[in-house]
């Protein structure tokens, strides 16, 4: 099906713009995945993005994932609740001291538990710690309805909006290929 998609581009130009929110849940931790692991990142990509039409990386080979992940400019931070992966933020250092939040989101069973604001706050702090002079992100009308609001609540400012048409499957593939739910 062909649909109109709106993409919003947001940025922070100074660490003081961050309006963090942190969970008081002692069972919530955010840990950097320091060893490139295609299995982990592909799991997070599909588990988080399966409901939101994240499909561009699903046909990547193991070698493509490893090549993408095995770069010093890429950092993956994983949120765990009681030892279970709840979501992730993927940060990519780019030229001009920019850091992009390349991917961010939660597995569906963890939405609505104040984990998203916490994870985004930690992710933005880590992006500034990477030496950023600008932290930016884009989200679109295919993402969770909470995404844009979370970015803006943390202090990101809209700098560009685009509308384009995209061909998509009739429905999202879901977080687990072949499973209903």
3-state secondary structure at position 35? coil
The residues spanned by each domain of the chain are 2-167
Helix residue spans in 37-109 (DSSP H): 38-49, 62-69
Checking 31-37 for CB contacts under 8 A at 24+ apart, the result is 31/77, 31/78, 31/80, 32/75, 32/76, 32/77, 32/78, 32/126, 33/76, 33/77, 33/78, 36/66, 36/69, 36/70, 37/69
pLDDT given for residue 168 in this prediction? 76
Superfamily of domain 2-167: Gcn5-related N-acetyltransferase (GNAT) (3.40.630.30)
End-to-end Cα separation, the chain, in angstroms: 22
Task: Of 77, 45, 76, 71, give the one whose Cα is nearest residue 58.
Answer: 45
pLDDT given for residue 178 in this prediction? 62
pLDDT given for residue 123 in this prediction? 98
Q: What is the pTM of this model?
A: 0.92
pLDDT given for residue 51 in this prediction? 85
Low-confidence ranges of the chain (pLDDT < 50): none
pLDDT given for residue 131 in this prediction? 95
pLDDT given for residue 50 in this prediction? 85
Beta carbons within 10 angstroms of residue 14's beta carbon:
11
pLDDT given for residue 144 in this prediction? 84
């Amino acid at each position: 099906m062909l649909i109109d998609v709106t993409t919003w581009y947001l940025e922070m130009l100074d660490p003081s713009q961050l309006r963090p929110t942190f969970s008081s849940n002692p069972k919530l931790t955010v840990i950097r995945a320091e060893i490139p692991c295609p299995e982990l990142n592909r799991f997070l990509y599909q588990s988080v993005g399966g409901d939101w039409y994240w499909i561009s990386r699903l046909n990547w080979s193991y070698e493509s994932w490893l090549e993408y992940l095995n770069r010093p400019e890429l950092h993956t931070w994983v949120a765990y609740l009681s030892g279970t992966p709840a979501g992730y933020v993927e940060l990519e250092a780019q030229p001009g001291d920019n850091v992009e939040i390349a991917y961010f989101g939660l597995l569906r069973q963890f939405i609505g538990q104040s984990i998203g604001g916490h994870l985004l706050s930690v992710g933005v702090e880590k992006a500034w710690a990477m030496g950023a002079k600008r932290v930016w992100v884009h989200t679109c009308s295919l993402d969770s309805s909470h995404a844009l609001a979370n970015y803006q609540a943390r202090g990101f400012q809209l700098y560009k909006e685009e509308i384009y048409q995209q061909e998509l499957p009739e429905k999202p593939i879901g977080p687990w290929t072949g499973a209903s739910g």
